Structure formats: C-alpha cells, structure tokens
C-alpha cells in the first residue's frame, strides 16, 4: 500500500524515525509523497532518492555527528572564537561539512537536484525551512520561485542544509532577492511537524501518516561547563524540543506514530551507538503498535463523511 509520510524534526533523535520506517517497510508499505523538517527532512530526502530504511539504519548507526564540526566538541573551540563567529556570521559552524556529506549520499543514488526525482513536473519531496527575515515558513522546493530560483534546479542537499540549520549552531543560508537578503534556518523554528502539508479539502486517495518524536519522561540536565555560548545553545535546543510537543489535534493524532525518545535531546551530538539502537527499537515498536490499530477506511468515514 502506498502512503504519504511526514517526518518531524528532532536532531539526533531522528534514528527513532528510521526504526518506524523499517517497520512500515516490513509490513509492505511504500512511500509516495514525503515531507520533513530538520532531521525529518534528511530522512524524507534519502528515502525520496532511493534509500531503504535498512540502508538508513546502517548509515545513522555509524554516523559521528561531531564530524560536521571543525572541532570534536563545542567546548574545544575557544569561547572568544565562538563569540566572534556567532556575532559575525550569525552561527558558529558553516554547515559545509554536513551539506557535502549529504550530497555524497544523494549522488550515490544517481540524484542531485529536485528535477532528478520529479514526477510529472512535481517534486514528491517537500522540505520545511524558516525564513526568519520574512518570518515565513518555506516549503521547498516550491517556495524557491519567490527568490527567483528555479525550484527543480535546486540541489536537494542545499534544501536539507537549510532545514537543519539550528540557529547559532550553524550559519544561516542567505538568499539575495529584490535588493534584500533573507536568512533561512531550521524549519523546526516555525513548523517542526508539518502533518498538514498534503491535506486538501477533498477526500484523500491514500493516507498521510505522521511520524512524531515525543519524550514522556524528560530528565534533561545542563552541562557542568555552562559558558554563555553553551547556555545559548541550550535555549535554542529547548525551543525546538518544546515546539515538538505542540498539541496535535485528534484528526492528526490518529494518523500519527508517536515515538518515545528516551530522554535524548535534539542537540545530543555525542549520542552513543547503544542509545541510537534503543531509539531505533523505540521507533520500530511504536510503528508496530500503530499499525495494529490503524484503519484508513475508518479514518475516512470519521473525518470525511
């Protein structure tokens, strides 16, 4: 059965989404339209270019998130240099390493731009980012036309980079247009769970399933080395985490897989492999439980008739 899917953002917790994906694939589901924010955009994009859930599991279990930073830890960079980068470039890390890494993964499947995955002129992939200058949610690639950019010629890896650019961690992507400049950052700032993205006023021909990360037993602790920059990062991480908890109305809750994240924070870049496996298993078990009760016909009768 084909379904449309929406993946919530959640930084390093995204491995939980992959567990749910693998469960759906094991039950014979295929993904048609895909959307995601932040970490969810990575997963949606890699599925769109041809990766399977099992392939994503192998990639993410071996991934060292610190490879995307110039130093092994945020604390290893001198506080003065951190501050200079932050106030000069509005972010400490460029994001180039991450974009290059994702681009290589996409190229391995023979893809690069949105044109490479289009179906009858439409991209099956939608990525959420935030234009903090214009204070608008961006749906990529569609909204690129507002900036004078051909949506289909845009690189998928660049769109993902925009969606995962956590403010102050990564430098924002700049769009110059109409004599001005827009700063584009993490989509989770404005819409971390775009479950609405494929909805229309008419009865859907296939279900849209959301995959949402939740933590029912938070045990967050602050780092013992709380300099100003680290404090700022904690604030941003908290904002994104809290955005994930925004109330989901009944119509959307019944079509959403809720995945416990076991106390892991969005910005826990030093997450262990063992914890990644636990998150994966959490996603798989949650999806299996969801599929036990999910009934598309019942959903249609309740909300569209």
Catalytic residue among 4, 38, 191, 241: 38
The neighbour count for residue 211, using CB atoms within 10 Å, is 31
Report the alpha-carbon distance of residue 258 to residue 81 in Å, rounded: 40
Rg of the chain in Å (alpha carbons): 19
Cα distances (Å, whole numbers) of residue 268 to 62, 107, 198, 301: 15, 28, 31, 42
Name the residue among 257, 187, 209 with its Cα closest to residue 19: 257
What predicted TM-score, i.e. pTM, was given to this entire model? 0.87
| Residue 4 CB-half CA count within 13 A | 18
Q: Is 186 a catalytic residue?
A: yes
DSSP helix/strand/coil, 187: helix
Per-position DSSP letters for 285-299, written without gaps between them: HHHHHHHHH--HHHH
Residue linked to tokens 């491995």: 15
DSSP secondary structure string for all residues of 62-115: H--GGGGSSSSSGGGS-HHHHHHHHHHHSEEE-SHHHHHHHHHHHHHTT--BGG
Phi, psi of 130 (to 5 degrees): -125, 120
From 130, 157, 165, 186, active-site residue = 186
Looking at domain 2-304, its CATH class is: alpha beta
Cα separation, 303 vs 296, in Å, equals: 11
Helix/strand number for the chain, H first, E second? 10, 10
Please identify every stretch of the chain with a pLDDT value under 70, giving residue numbers as ranges: 69-91, 217-248
CA distances (Å), 254 to each of 27, 300, 302, in order?
19, 11, 11
At residue 191, φ and ψ (nearest 5 deg) are -155, 95
Rounded to 5 degrees, φ, ψ at 236 are -65, -45
Residue 274 annotated as catalytic = no
Which residues partner with 35 through β-bridges? 6, 126
Q: Break the chain into its structural domains and give their ranges.
A: 2-304
| pLDDT value at residue 254 | 95
The rounded distance, in Å, linking the Cα atoms of 125 and 7 is 11
């Amino acid at each position: 059965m084909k379904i449309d899917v929406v993946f919530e953002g959640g930084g390093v917790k995204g491995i939980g989404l992959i567990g749910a994906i693998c469960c759906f694939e094991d039950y014979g589901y295929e993904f048609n339209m895909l959307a995601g924010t932040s970490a969810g955009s990575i997963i949606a994009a890699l599925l769109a270019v041809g990766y399977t859930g099992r392939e994503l599991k192998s990639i993410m279990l071996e991934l060292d998130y610190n490879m995307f930073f110039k130093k092994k830890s945020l604390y290893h960079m001198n506080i003065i240099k951190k501050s200079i980068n932050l106030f000069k470039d509005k972010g400490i890390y460029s994001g180039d390493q991450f974009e290059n890494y994702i681009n290589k993964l996409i190229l391995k499947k023979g893809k690069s731009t949105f044109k490479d995955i289009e179906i009858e002129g439409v991209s099956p992939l939608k990525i959420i980012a935030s234009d903090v200058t214009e204070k608008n949610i961006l749906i990529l690639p569609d909204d690129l036309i507002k900036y004078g950019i051909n949506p289909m010629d845009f690189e998928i890896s660049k769109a993902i980079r925009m969606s995962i650019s956590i403010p102050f961690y990564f430098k924002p992507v700049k769009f110059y247009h109409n004599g001005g400049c827009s700063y584009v950052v993490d989509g989770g700032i404005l819409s971390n769970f775009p479950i609405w993205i494929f909805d229309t006023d008419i009865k859907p021909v296939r279900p849209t399933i959301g995959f949402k990360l939740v933590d029912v037993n938070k045990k967050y602790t602050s780092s013992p080395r709380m300099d100003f920059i680290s404090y700022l990062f904690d604030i941003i991480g908290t904002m994104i985490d809290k955005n994930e908890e925004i109330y989901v109305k009944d119509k959307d809750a019944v079509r959403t897989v809720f995945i416990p994240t076991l106390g892991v924070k969005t910005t826990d870049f030093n997450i262990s492999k063992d914890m990644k496996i636990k998150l994966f298993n959490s996603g798989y078990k949650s999806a299996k439980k969801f599929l036990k009760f999910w009934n598309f016909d019942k959903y249609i009768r309740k909300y569209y008739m």
